[in-house]
Amino acid sequence: MLSKVAVVTTGPLAMFEFGVVCEVFGLDRTSDGLPAFDFRVCGAEPGKPLRSTTPGVTITPEYGLEELTGADLVAIPAYHSSLLGSGVDPRIVAGVRAASDAGAIILTVCSGAFLAGAAGLLDGRKCTTHWRYVSQLAEMFPETTVDPDVLYVDEGNLITSAGTAAGIDACLHLVRREIGSAAANGIARRMVVPPQRDGGQRQFIERPVAACTSDGLSATLLWMNENLELPHTIDELAARSTMSTRTFARRFAAETGTTPVKWLTNQRVLYAKHLLEDTDDGLEPIAAQAGFGSGALLRHHFQRIVGIAPTEYRRRFGSNPTADAEPTE
């Protein structure tokens, strides 16, 4: 059961992610029959203003780190990326670790996962963070498994969430898990957000053309990307790169980390994403321009790589979300 909720603050603090935690756990909604939380904003130096990532805005924590111990939930909002490598105040790291040892649930939003990692809470567990920081998190904490695709990861007494709005999903999930669906649905209704979202953060990740040490391979990658609508064979691509087929395949994998077929499919899906965002073309014309040949094949690969259907992607990200992405008669 969630009763006491403590929020750890360290500057520069990300205002939206901090606000998400405040919105879910800090507002009194008892008039709607929703639970009340003993909500406390904590810092290493209570009463001292902390800078935020928003110019001209500061946050002043009222409580000290001693309030973390005994809390049912310790929430860690995001903080500025300049601190991710150097770490935060060791007093805060120790406070989070002590709270976890005392039985608190630790919930992180976006880059807050780095603080959980510094406290040793990620080792041997799955986690997530904003897609921009996935590689850095995995490099800094190699004992953890970072999932770049999901909105949040529930590891029992540790819940990590991806960037920004995914924190809402994680907070509502925790309310649902600990208190029940009625409470989670009621809070979501007041916030005017869906109580549950499907999908993950794959749809937000760009996949640029890899930089290569080989000039011949770099030129081939660029040509492939500029001619996605054409069929490509390994023999043809190897010849264009002035390599044998075997050397081309080996060099391609070494430079890009994948096979030519997988790389080409990813680039075609990326191009299809841009067409869904910026044009009103139907699915069949988009499939032809991206080199898939048919709308069915585009749907298959798009769903597999992005995690949602092309029509849903256009609804969320398109400049004209009412455009018909399905084949027309």
Question: 67-98 pLDDT, tens per residue?
Answer: 999 999 999 999 887 777 667 899 999 999 99
| pLDDT at residue number 327 | 42
Query: β-strand 158-161 against 152-154: which pairing, if any?
Result: antiparallel
| DSSP 8-state symbol, 229 | T
DSSP track, 99-152: HHHTT-EEEEETTHHHHHHHTT-STTSEE---GGGHHHHHHH-TTSEE-SS-SE
Q: Regarding the domain with residue range 4-201, which homologous superfamily does it belong to in the CATH classification?
A: Class I glutamine amidotransferase (GATase) domain (3.40.50.880)
- Residue in 18, 5, 12 with CA at minimum distance from that of residue 53: 12
For residue 289, the SS3 value is: helix
**What digits encode the pLDDT tens for the residues 139-197?**
999 999 999 888 899 999 999 999 878 899 899 989 988 998 888 888 988 888 776 66
Tell me what pLDDT residue 197 has. 65
CB 148 within 8 A of CB 123: no
Q: How far apart are the C-alpha atoms of 35 and 43, rounded to whole Å? A: 25
Q: Is the pLDDT of residue 311 over 60?
A: yes
Select from 284, 243, 283, 285 the least CA-distant residue to 260.
243
- Same topology, domains 4-201 and 215-317? Answer is no
Phi, psi (degrees; rounded to nearest 5) at 286: -65, -45
Furthest CA-CA distance within the chain: 73
User: Is 215-317 in CATH node 1.10.10.60?
Assistant: yes
Enumerate the β-bridge partners of residue 76: 108
Residue 192: what pLDDT?
82
Alpha-carbon dihedral sign for residues 143, 148, 154, 160: positive
Hey, where are the domains in the chain? Answer: 4-201, 215-317
3-state class (DSSP) for residue 61: coil
**How far, rounded to the nearest angstrom, does the alpha carbon of residue 4 sit from its chain's CA centroid?**
27
Per-residue confidence (pLDDT) for residue 151, from 0 to 100: 87
Distance from C-alpha of 111 to C-alpha of 128, rounded to nearest angstrom:
9
Region 219-237 average pLDDT: 90
**How sure is the predictor about 107, in pLDDT bands with cuts at 50, 70 and 90?**
very high
Among 35, 46, 98, 24, CA closest to 68: 98
Please tell me what DSSP assigns to residue 30. G
